[in-house]
Chain A
């Protein structure tokens, strides 16, 4: 039963991330390419704390591929996956450490997502000077990471996982 609930929760989180990603794409174009809200990251953080590292990686990969196809820009999927892998790796390292709250995890995740994307662009375009672009992207990533971290933290406080995942049921 608990396994089924975890599977259901993973599916719900992927759906939430896809909807948030789709809504975000309808916002007006930002003047600085690469800066985005990244609201879907709050669902990924919830997944990290509740479902663990391996499931979160699966969720991240599925979400990025599906969203890329949904928005009709498959050329950009490698960039979101590069950002996603680096970001989730750093968040996985941080999330169980003492003294780090979901907000710190999310800030680190937002910033490393930008770093992953720019690194891949530097390699594909052979343009090392893109590294300076991070001077603008990283503070934005930190600000957005703060917001999504607050959302994740609030969500987890009001919907403790014990009510859904850990309690043995007798049904």
Chain B
């Protein structure tokens, strides 16, 4: 390792730490209930209230589908016909586990361009800092 190698490493670690500290940690007002926002390729499709236990299926015109298990205060993807199944491995999002998840309040299926976000009643993103 030479001198400038160390400089590169320090820049990377400082930038990472900054982003890590600024990451979303909680939904700002969960008192009015929380919702799952469904977006496909950046277009918002619907806002689903997270109340009772049920399953919904999101199917796109080209046959891509994801099956989502919704429960009180959270959701998870249980089945998808994508290549990598990353969205299933991302696990469940709940009001309480946002701060500990790599993708915070989101579950993302990259091949299907699907983004599911846990948001509060007014559709606001979680707070970015506390």
The reply to whether the CB of B12 lies closer than 8 angstroms to some CB of chain A is yes
- Interface pair B23/A132, CB less than 8 Å apart: yes
Q: Which residues of A contact B9 (CB under 8 A)?
A: 104, 107, 142
Bound Cα distance A31, B9 (Å): 24
The reply to whether the CB of A100 lies closer than 8 angstroms to some CB of chain B is yes
Q: Which residues of B contact A103 (CB under 8 A)?
A: 1-2, 5
Within 8 A of A (CB), among B1-45: 1-6, 8-9, 12-13, 15-24, 39, 41-43
The reply to whether the CB of A23 lies closer than 8 angstroms to some CB of chain B is no
Bound Cα distance A31, B89 (Å): 7
Bound Cα distance A129, B106 (Å): 9
Q: Interface on chain A toward B: helix, strand, loop, or mixed SS?
A: helix
- Shortest distance in angstroms between A36's beta carbon and chain B's nearest beta carbon? 12
- Interface pair B39/A33, CB less than 8 Å apart: no
The reply to whether the CB of B110 lies closer than 8 angstroms to some CB of chain A is yes
- Shortest distance in angstroms between A116's beta carbon and chain B's nearest beta carbon? 14
Number of interface residues of B (CB under 8 A): 41
Q: Which residues of B contact A76 (CB under 8 A)?
A: 83-84, 110-111
- Interface pair A124/B41, CB less than 8 Å apart: yes
The reply to whether the CB of A168 lies closer than 8 angstroms to some CB of chain B is no
Bound Cα distance A101, B9 (Å): 12
- Interface pair A101/B20, CB less than 8 Å apart: no
The reply to whether the CB of A72 lies closer than 8 angstroms to some CB of chain B is yes
The reply to whether the CB of A52 lies closer than 8 angstroms to some CB of chain B is no
- Interface pair B20/A136, CB less than 8 Å apart: yes
Mark interface residues in B86-130 (1 if CB within 8 Å of A CB, else 0): 100110000000000011101010110101000000000100100
Chain A residue with the shortest CB-CB distance to B112: A75
Q: Which residues of B contact A108 (CB under 8 A)?
A: 8, 12
Q: Could you show 16 A-B contacts with beta carbons less than 8 Å apart?
A: A33-B89, A33-B108, A76-B84, A98-B4, A99-B2, A100-B2, A104-B4, A104-B5, A107-B8, A107-B9, A124-B113, A126-B39, A132-B104, A135-B18, A135-B21, A139-B13
